[in-house]
């Protein structure tokens, strides 16, 4: 499927700005045979240059095995317009429904050179190479990645900044509370330097 309109490259070493806002994420991975996408509220920037991030992946998640085998994953920022699909991708497991992705209602695309499915309706997409830390992964379910590619929807993020001011409520990020309950990104606030 064609990649989204308005999609432009972001310097991977500037991608920490995409994560600092604290939005709910979707994590994708593929081992070349099967693919999965899960929701993860516990993803966080870890370092600036090279840009690294952490994500918590419980041992029960099918996506985790795909990452352990492929050493690569994507972190994406779903918009409010796909909140329902985000909840579905976070609550149904590939262990229970091998056609979970097809049944999720989400639409997927691929970028050349990257095996994992990316999700239409996100503000940004970041690909990470896993930095293997077996002790941290096993003890805390905490995975570390280094960003190797990133893209953003230029309506929402350009020139290193989000621009939600002129956008509809559907084009805001999701901030997770519990169950099916989120808050959208709200109004800007600027502190004078």
In the complex with a copy of itself, which residue's Cβ is closer, 21 or 111?
Answer: 21
Minimum distance, C-beta of residue 172 to a copy of itself, in the bound complex (Å): 6
In the complex with a copy of itself, which residue's Cβ is closer, 5 or 190?
Answer: 190
Q: Are 145 and 128 in contact (CB under 8 A)?
A: yes
Minimum distance, C-beta of residue 18 to a copy of itself, in the bound complex (Å): 10
Interacting residues with a copy of itself (CB under 8 A): 17, 20-24, 41-47, 52, 54, 56, 80, 83-84, 86-87, 133, 135-136, 140-142, 144, 160-162, 164, 169, 172, 174-193
In the complex with a copy of itself, which residue's Cβ is closer, 45 or 116?
Answer: 45
Minimum distance, C-beta of residue 14 to a copy of itself, in the bound complex (Å): 10
User: Three-state SS for 89?
Assistant: helix
Minimum distance, C-beta of residue 66 to a copy of itself, in the bound complex (Å): 21
Distance of CA 189 to the CA centre of its chain: 25
CA-based nearest residue to 154, from 5, 3, 22, 16: 5
In the complex with a copy of itself, which residue's Cβ is closer, 35 or 90?
Answer: 90
In the complex with a copy of itself, which residue's Cβ is closer, 1 or 140?
Answer: 140
Q: Are 76 and 126 in contact (CB under 8 A)?
A: yes
Beta-carbon count within 10 A of 115 CB: 18
Q: Are 148 and 127 in contact (CB under 8 A)?
A: yes
Minimum distance, C-beta of residue 19 to a copy of itself, in the bound complex (Å): 8
Residue 160 to residue 148: CA distance in whole angstroms: 17
What tokens appear for 155 in the block?
């309506």
In the complex with a copy of itself, which residue's Cβ is closer, 43 or 115?
Answer: 43
Residue 113 to residue 110: CA distance in whole angstroms: 9
CA-based nearest residue to 56, from 94, 90, 81, 31: 90
Residue 89 to residue 105: CA distance in whole angstroms: 9
Minimum distance, C-beta of residue 162 to a copy of itself, in the bound complex (Å): 6
């Amino acid at each position: 499927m064609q990649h989204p309109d308005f999609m432009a490259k972001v310097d991977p070493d500037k991608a920490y700005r995409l994560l600092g806002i604290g939005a709910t994420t979707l994590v994708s991975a593929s081992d070349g045979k099967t693919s999965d996408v899960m929701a993860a509220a516990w993803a966080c920037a870890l370092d600036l240059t090279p840009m690294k991030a952490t994500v918590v992946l419980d041992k029960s998640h099918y996506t985790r095995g795909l990452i352990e085998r492929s050493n690569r994953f994507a972190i994406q920022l779903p918009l409010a317009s796909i909140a329902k699909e985000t909840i579905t991708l976070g609550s149904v497991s590939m262990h229970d429904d091998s056609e979970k992705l097809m049944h999720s209602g989400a639409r997927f695309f691929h970028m050349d050179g990257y095996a994992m499915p990316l999700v239409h309706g996100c503000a940004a997409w970041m690909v990470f190479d896993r930095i293997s830390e077996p002790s941290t992964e096993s003890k805390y379910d905490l995975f570390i990645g280094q960003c190797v590619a990133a893209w953003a929807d230029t309506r929402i993020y350009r020139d290193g900044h989000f621009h939600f001011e002129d956008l509809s409520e559907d084009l805001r990020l999701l901030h997770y509370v519990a169950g099916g309950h989120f808050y959208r990104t709200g109004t800007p606030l600027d502190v004078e330097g």
